[in-house]
A and B are shown apart, each in its own frame.
Chain A
């Protein structure tokens, strides 16, 4: 069995599961946010049970439209907050929260070997820790809150092997953008992706979160990494319960094996309006930008902010660019503050905000007008994703976004720092 199959099988009463099989899976954690929870709560109430199956295994995070941007979104957040209190489930209020996919691993709520389902498509982020994590809809979450399990079809696994060492300014974001452009936005439809190879071994946990996060952008159900020393180091201090590490079998069957040599890979930029519309940064230079966003569940972690600060420190954001930096969680915010990163951002002329999804989904904190262009470390550049359907979003890593913020046009960090 592959890593995905091993974890799934361990959460059923079966010894073995195979791709295509419909199974009932016990879940270790269920997640919803201020957009998806209201519908999940409505459907949960229709089932006719009073209590969630286990309050310690359900978590709700207000992150999309908070601190609330308008009355309607405040009503949705209130509904979720009241349900969370009544059910005594895990809940993180503004001031303690973070973007869900930054927050949950950081709080030790997601651990290797877990099955996690979330009413948010980027739930697949937790695959970075060797968990099987997948996004579903609100009704699925409602059913699972009642029963503690959910039906799934076992996905086939695509193994992606990355050979070589990564060049300067190249990160997990570039590997995943390159992969999506290579296999397409439906290249991994219904499948699990398993990321391996030397380039992956050397990748930081933060960069692995970025890659797993965007597995959904290739249509995947999950994107998984094997657990190594780095993973153990990350989870050891955070875990408050025991966890199990699964390894794929030597004779595991993969539906596809794809190999890349990434030693010469440049930082990548995804042009509007698809994450698969990717080019090396050297081929998209000289595109003027109005805004640069550094944050989100893709690239709002401490490593991302450190990289951005390396470039922004002692320099100035271009006078015609709004540079918006959003730490992914209160902890990331605090760490960045203590390390002096926030000071560097503010001195450079960037706006720094409390954690929120904000501009990533065109919610608030940086919505684009018609004709405006933004370089962003987020994960989607669909039509209208960050505001006007006539605006444009270019996806890149934090180094490229920071360098572009300074130059006022898309550029490689090499132009500034060599």
Chain B
């Protein structure tokens, strides 16, 4: 069960906004986290508390393939991201590194920045404790659920290699 305050953004938050390329000369998550969201929300790093939840409308994470983006968000303390839709590469990257993403239009429409949410990942249940409302996110496709429960892509690959299930 995840619980935290919401940091809310709009549509098409791109990977340059999440972590500007000028900071990509390193790849340690903690270093990246220091500059997370800096160009569109200067105070994010100061405001964010471990466990907080990020929220956005459509196409979150569009732009580059930099895994530095979900790594920075995760290392900043964010426990999950809820949006109406995610950019394709960002979605893969986040799932691969174990940053949970949920897609839920209603939760995004009805939640304001600063609200407190409680999220149960496997059922996709999202409770807005501030407003006393409840929503259900889109379920993960079966394959993605398997990948997540294996502990991410690296663990999943390790298991596949062990069972020699390579095509």
Contacts and interface: CB of A to CB of B under 8 A. Distances in A.
A383 B16 contact: yes
Interface string A127-163: 0000000011111101100111101010000000000
A219 B16 CA distance: 15
Given A12-B167, A382-B16, A147 B160 contact: yes
B1 interface: no
A363 interface: yes
Contact of B16 (A35, A43, A49, A384): A384
Given A189-B59, A382-B17, A26 B167 contact: yes
B25 A70 contact: yes
Contacts of A39: 27, 67-68, 71
A219 B62 contact: yes
A116 to B, nearest CB: 13
A384 B153 CA distance: 32
Contacts of B160: 147
A336 B105 CA distance: 52
Interface in B131-167: 141-143, 147, 152-154, 156-158, 160-161, 166-167
Contacts of A42: 27
B139 to A, nearest CB: 14
A357 to B, nearest CB: 9
A149 B59 CA distance: 27
Interface string B45-66: 0000000000000110011111
B143 A185 contact: no
Contacts of A225: none
A136 B156 CA distance: 17
A101 to B, nearest CB: 12
Nearest to A218: B62
B128 interface: no
B96 interface: yes
Interface residues of A, number: 59
Contacts of A383: 16-17, 39-40
A243 interface: no
A139 B66 contact: no
A142 B65 CA distance: 14
B20 A384 contact: yes
A22 B25 contact: no
Interface stretch (B2-10, B81-89, B106-114): B81-89
Contacts, number: 149
A377 interface: no
A216 to B, nearest CB: 8
B21 A385 contact: yes
A385 B16 CA distance: 6
A65 interface: yes
A73 interface: yes
Given A36-B66, A147-B161, A139 B21 contact: no
Interface in A257-275: 274
A361 B64 CA distance: 10
Contacts of A190: 88
B14 interface: yes
Contacts of B62: 185-186, 219
A219 B88 contact: yes
Interface of A: 12-13, 22, 24, 26, 35-36, 38-39, 42-43, 46-49, 64-65, 69-70, 72-73, 76, 118-121, 123, 135-140, 142-143, 146-149, 151, 153, 185-186, 189-190, 219, 221, 274, 361-363, 367, 380, 382-385, 387, 389
Given A119-B67, A137-B96, 9 more contacts: A72-B25, A121-B65, A136-B65, A137-B93, A139-B67, A186-B59, A186-B85, A384-B20, A385-B16
6 contacts: A65-B24, A65-B25, A135-B65, A137-B67, A143-B157, A384-B17
